[in-house]
Structure formats: structure tokens, C-alpha cells
Amino acid sequence: MYRSPLTLEALLVLDAIDRRGSFAAAAEQLNKVPSALSYIVQKLEEQLSVTLFVRQGRRSVLTPAGVHLLIEGRKVLGAVSKIAEQTQTIAHGWEPKIKIAVDSILNTTLIFEVISNFLHQYPSIEVDIREEVMNGTWEALINNEVDLVIGASGPMPNQQGIRSINIGTLEHIFVACKTHEILQIESPLNKDDLRQFRTVVVHDSVKIEIPHSTNVIENSLNFYVSSISQKIEAILMGIGIGSLPRSRIEKFLKSGDLVSVPFTAQVQTSDSLMAWKVVNKGKGLQQLRTALEKALCK
């Protein structure tokens, strides 16, 4: 079996010598005698056939080879420290990473504010955010790709082991940019009127199940995008018209850049859900979920 001459102890010694500037100061930091450090460095140099330190006055300075070894070695030390920290975290019921799917329909500003505060309180936990659309949000949770979904559209799938809470109701309105020709038609408009114009549609991000689309005008030309942000931008550019959640476009309605299209159909609403699997008992997820619920359910 191959045995590398590099050991964690040797890397710690190199790091201490470089930071403290001398073998004596490093030995004091590591609670060892200077001769022990000299032996470790000398043995490592012999096994690697390189010189790691040279004397410059009273200081011990790394050679280019030593600099490279220490830069890469510090990555190893950091990884080992992280593994140890995560192991202790898991042993106490705290997961090392929380994976979250946020539906494209939501503005993430408040969500990120909550997560920022959470990470400040629990800095050893990683958070992995991904954007999904419509059924793709539920699919990610059902297939255990994420631990939590935020903004999933209701109703919740008929799947055992999932729990959800309603974090708000979204109002959807048909809009066009302020220069769009649809605004020249006498209102209120019906579906036949809308079919004359291109509609901007967001792709469902689902990969396995049947894709789903909402507020699609049948027999109209479509312009497909991958997120609500892209849909807003496309409508602002006059590419087409479409239904958008009022909460995402309030500022454009106030500025007049987007105009509500008078439509004979009733204003549509949808429930926005936060959901998770009940088998996930991680303390981190529980804390983050509680913080998100408190912020989003006002």
C-alpha cells in the first residue's frame, strides 16, 4: 500500500512555521519543542526530495516549492476541519446542508433575508437554492432532490409524507407593456381578442411528470421562457402579453411600464405553499422553516 509522506501533522507544522515566522515560535504555538518540528520538516524534505524552508535572518521562509505545498495543504486542512465540524453537527441532529427549491413565481428578497439571518446564527450549515417552475417544484421534493419547497402552487399533490402550509395567496392579472397595440382595443376584452396577440408562457421545469401551464390562451402564438423574471422582461419589451402575479410587478404598474389588460374573465388567484417531508427531522430545517413561516405568513 502506498503511504504518502504528507501527514496532517506535517501540514500543521508548515502552517504554524509560516504564520509565526520561526521554528521556535511555531513550536510554542503547537506546544512542542523546536527540535520536534525540525525533525518533521527534515523528514518531509527528505521524502519529497525538496527544500521547503530557507533562513532569512531570524526568519524561516518558504521556498517556491514550500509555498505551493502549503497553499494546497491549507485546502486539505480546511476540508478536514469542515468534515470534523459537520460530523459533530450531524451527531447533534443538525444537517450539514439544506436544499431548497424556490418557485420562480416568488420574489426572493424576503426569503434571502431570512436565510441570511439563519446562516449568521448557524454558520456551519450550507444552503443550496434552486429555482423551479410549477410542477417542477413539487417533483423536486417528491424525488428527494430538495428538503424544502417555497412558493409551490396549490393544491398539494396526493403524496403521503408531505406537509405544507399556505404562505400567501397570489393575484394574477393580464398585462401588456404601455406601448402594446392590444391597449388600443375597446375593453373589456375576451379570449378571442387575446388570441390575436402573442402570449408569453413560462415552461414548467418538471422533468418526469406531465408539464403544466396556467393562464395559456388557446390557439394563440406563444413565446416561451424559463422563469417569471424572464416573462416579466419579455412583456416589458413588448414581445407578448401574459398573466403575472401582482406582487411581482407592482412597481411596473405604478410606473406605467406595464398596464393591466381589461379582461372579461375573473381575476385569478393561486395559493402559494411551503412544503417539506415529515421524515426530515433535521434541526436546521426546523429552525429555518419556522423563521420562514414567521416572515412569509404575515
Q: Using DSSP bridges, classify how beta strands 97-103 and 162-177 pair: parallel, antiparallel or unpaired.
A: unpaired
CATH (domain of 121):
3.40.190.10
105 shares its domain with 249: no
- What local confidence, expressed as pLDDT, does residue 1 receive? 54
- What local confidence, expressed as pLDDT, does residue 131 receive? 93
CATH (domain of 260):
3.40.190.290
Residue with cell 521556535: 24
Any domain includes 248: yes
pLDDT of 278 over the 60 cut: yes
Any domain includes 182: yes
Any domain includes 3: no
192 shares its domain with 215: yes
Give the pLDDT mean for 97-102. Answer: 94
CATH (domain of 49):
1.10.10.10
Q: Which residues pair with 162 in a beta bridge?
A: 277
161 shares its domain with 276: yes
Q: CA 169 to CA 271: how far, in whole Å?
A: 5
pLDDT of 213 over the 90 cut: no
136 shares its domain with 252: no
Any domain includes 1: no
234 shares its domain with 220: yes
pLDDT of 274 over the 90 cut: yes
80 shares its domain with 225: no
- What local confidence, expressed as pLDDT, does residue 141 receive? 93
**Which value, to the nearest 10 degrees, does the dihedral of the CA atoms of residues 46, 11, 65, 78 take?**
160
- What local confidence, expressed as pLDDT, does residue 239 receive? 94
39 shares its domain with 154: no
Look at the chain and report how many structural domains it folds into: 3
Query: What is the Cβ-side half-sphere exposure of residue 279, based on CA atoms within 13 angstroms?
Result: 6
pLDDT of 28 over the 60 cut: yes
Any domain includes 2: no
Name the pLDDT band for 87 (thresholds 50, 70, 90): confident
pLDDT of 110 over the 90 cut: yes
pTM value is 0.67
- What local confidence, expressed as pLDDT, does residue 176 receive? 93
Q: What is the pLDDT of residues 157-179, one digit of tens each?
A: 877 789 999 998 899 898 999 99
53 shares its domain with 108: no
163 shares its domain with 109: yes
Name the pLDDT band for 188 (thresholds 50, 70, 90): confident
Residue partners of 204: CB distance under 8 A and separation at least 6: 133, 134, 135, 136, 211, 212, 213
Any domain includes 159: yes
Instruction: Dihedral sign for Cα 100, 105, 107, 110, please.
Output: negative
**Domain's final residue, options 91, 124, 157:** 91
pLDDT of 266 over the 80 cut: no
Higher pLDDT, 191 or 258: 258
Give the pLDDT mean for 268-280. Answer: 89
Name the pLDDT band for 244 (thresholds 50, 70, 90): very high
Whether residue 111 contacts residue 294, with contact meaning beta carbons closer than 8 Å, is answered with: no
Residue partners of 123: CB distance under 8 A and separation at least 6: none
Highest mean pLDDT among 32-46, 52-66, 86-100, 245-259: 245-259
Nearest to 179 by CA among 233, 239, 264: 239
- What local confidence, expressed as pLDDT, does residue 204 receive? 80
33 shares its domain with 80: yes
Any domain includes 29: yes
Domain that holds residue 259: 171-268
181 shares its domain with 229: yes
pLDDT of 212 over the 60 cut: no
Cα angle at 146 between 157 and 244, to 5 degrees?
60
Q: How far is CA 137 from the centre of its chain?
A: 14
Any domain includes 42: yes
137 shares its domain with 277: yes
- What local confidence, expressed as pLDDT, does residue 264 receive? 64
